Amino acid sequence: MNSPLLDHKDFSYVRLLAVTWHANVLTPSMCTSLAGARLLQWVEQLNQPLIVNCAGISTIEDHSLTSLENFLTSNGRAVAFLVANGNERLANEIHSELKAAYVCSESIGQYEVSVYGGRSQAKALQSSMEDFVGQIKNLEHDFVTKAVRNCYKHFKTPERLDSTPLLASGRLNARALISDPIQFTWISLLFAEQFERVIEEARPRTNGVLAVSLRASPFAAAVRLLAHTCSPSLEIIDHIGPRHDLLEASVGEPDMYGREYILIADFVVGGTELKIARTYAMSQGATIKNAIAIGAFLSGDAYDKNIALKSLINIPEVVPELTYQFVSQGAR
């Protein structure tokens, strides 16, 4: 896999969870020596400071960052680690691993920021961190926006979308996002973060993840793996109707009855996927009150007053040339 680092003109940026997921597929919340070696490999290729966001990481194993510590103390490079305020244990674990390269720490917004490395580069990085921290969200959003923009395919003539009465000027191809390792990684990370935010705000009865299409299923599986603090169960359904195929059933739980799920979708345009998911959940004695999509044409409860929809991007803003119209009578 190529490096998932995002480049700004003044720094590079990565989520440590992207590194650990690549190194430890089944336990991405743990930073092991293998993950530390992979992070060092990517740091060595840089000519500018690196900012590492530690969201989603639960443990830094002993000696996992020893090689990075040695590199920083001998090469003058600088790396800043962002740890959410209040997570002193994780910040202390990182400091224990990198203390020989330690330069300074300060609180910036929602993060405790610790800078390690050569004093000259580290001090220069520290002096700009407040501005840089304010830019990392835009860096992530811009990356996903570009990925979605690039997966759009324009039709020569409008075509009817499957399962909807809509003629579209083009199509957003979620498969292109899934097949690109870096795009899939970043979208999955942001999906997992949004999922955890919904769990915190909506307080569902149970933490379940549901997908009702093959395109959404890889992201749903990734959310289950990455959102370790929520320990969600997973249900993936495809081809619902008179017949449907059960691809994954209640991972971690025996059945859906009485459970509450959050739907993971790719692109929501006409709202068919939301209706399918809610119908299926109701047939199993379960409920869906929240949904998350890569992109949506509408937002909030505009599709279904019973389901609050959040999306990583707004389709009309990212692909303004994508238009829809109802199929006229007699059209195919």
Residue found by looking up tokens 């002096």 in the block: 127
Structure tokens at 123: 């001090």
Q: What is the largest CA-CA distance in the chain?
A: 74
pLDDT at 161: 80
Domain interval for residue 68: 6-128
**Is residue 290 assigned to a domain?**
yes
Residue found by looking up tokens 């993060």 in the block: 111
Residues in the chain with pLDDT < 70? Answer: 1, 163, 238-254, 328-332
Task: Check: CB of residue 233 under 8 Å from CB of residue 259.
Answer: yes
Contacts of 76 by beta carbon, 8 Å cutoff, 6+ apart: 117, 118, 120, 121
Residues 148 and 123 grouped into a single domain: no
Residues 169 and 106 grouped into a single domain: no
pLDDT at 254: 42
Structure tokens at 307: 């389901």
CA distances from 254 to 45, 151, 213, 221, 233 (A): 47, 37, 22, 18, 10
Would you call 231 exposed, middle or buried from its count of C-beta atoms within 10 A (0-12, 13-18, 19+)?
A: exposed
Tell me which amino acid residue 186 is: W
Residues 194 and 69 grouped into a single domain: no
Total domain count for the chain? 2
Residues 234 and 156 grouped into a single domain: yes
Picking from 97, 128, 159, the residue at the C-terminal end of a domain is 128
Tell me which amino acid residue 79 is: V
How far out from the chain centre does Cα 158 lie?
32
pLDDT at 320: 96
pLDDT at 330: 52
Distance CA 140, CA 150 (A): 16
Distance CA 262, CA 14 (A): 27
Residue 246 host element (H or E): strand 245-248
Distance CA 268, CA 105 (A): 43
Residues 196 and 301 grouped into a single domain: yes
